[in-house]
Amino acid sequence: MFEGRNEALVTLALLFISHEIIYFARCIPYLIADQIPSLQKYKIQQKTIQNTAQNQWKVFRYVLISHFVFELPMIVGFHPVAVYFGMAISSVPFPPLQKMAFQIFLFFVFEDFFHYWAHRGLHYGPFYKHIHKLHHEWSAPFGLAAEYAHPIEVMILGTGTIAGPLMWCYATGDLHLITTLTWMTLRLFQAVEAHSGYDFPWSTHNWLPGWSGAEHHDYHHMAFTNNFSTSFRWWDHIFGTNKKYIAYKERKAAEAKAKKAL
């Protein structure tokens, strides 16, 4: 792919095209689920229905424009910055899977910590009113809405995604583009799942302890508070920003138990 071609242009095309394909393809299973009546029992919010065709189309148009107008320029600047920090772009062989897995885990932890505080800050008065409120247009989110956000929010939260790899690269001089691309792919999978509005038996948080998932993040959109983290539940637990969520879960469990006893 890189041989005999401009490395910066190939990197740009690789990152942007893969981002578009992965993001929208990741949404397709949930769009299909919307059309299957037997799967609606896994919809987290049964009373608030916002995943209509009209809303999906509105979000799709906004997100697609945002990708080209705001995210593409950010991706253009990735190659020179990555090279400056010492990232291996087109060298082979690729790093061992064990090394990639370790680095990606660190990126998840860093991004989650960054996202927690940045997201919590975006709920502060004027920041919420002028920036973050757009994302909260959907109190019952759906997959396509994961990147439905104000451009400033896109830049702020996007920093957490790319800063981890760049800082690691600067500190160690040991990072390959393929690892960064894999990390970004998994991050997109996580973001879409968290906004999917579905809690399937096979959803990630049901088999990976500590994972946030849609069940955790959906409450944040419904209540406009608590559960600020993105990938893990640690920070909300440590900093006490999950108390309303826990009380809500206990209340729902009590209601379900009382209903079953009738």
Q: pLDDT digits over 156-169, tens only?
A: 999 999 999 999 99
94/196 Cα distance (integer angstroms): 33
**Angle formed by the axes of helices 177-194 and 97-122, nearest 10°:** 50
The predicted-structure confidence for 112-159, as pLDDT tens digits, reads as follows 999 999 999 999 999 999 999 999 999 999 999 999 999 999 999 999
Q: How far apart are CA 17 and CA 182, in angstroms?
A: 14
Number of Cβ within 10 Å of residue 9's Cβ equals 12
Distance in angstroms (rounded) separating the CA atoms of residues 119 and 58? 24
Main-chain dihedrals φ then ψ at residue 43, nearest 5 degrees: -70, 130
Whether the ω angle into residue 201 lies within 30 degrees of 0, i.e. cis, is no
Packed helices 177-194 and 7-33: angle between N→C axes, nearest 10 degrees: 20
pTM score of the predicted model: 0.94
Contacts (Cβ under 8 Å, ≥6 apart) of 226: 219, 220, 236, 241, 242, 243, 244, 245
pLDDT at residue 142, as a whole number: 97
Q: Phi and psi at residue 89, in whole multiples of 5°?
A: -95, -55
Contact 110, 160 (CB under 8 A): yes
CB 242 within 8 A of CB 250: no
Question: CA angle 49-32-150, nearest 5°?
Answer: 55
Per-residue pLDDT of 178-212, as tens digits, reads 999 999 999 999 999 999 999 999 999 999 999 99
When pLDDT is averaged across residues 85-98 and rounded to a whole number, the result is 94
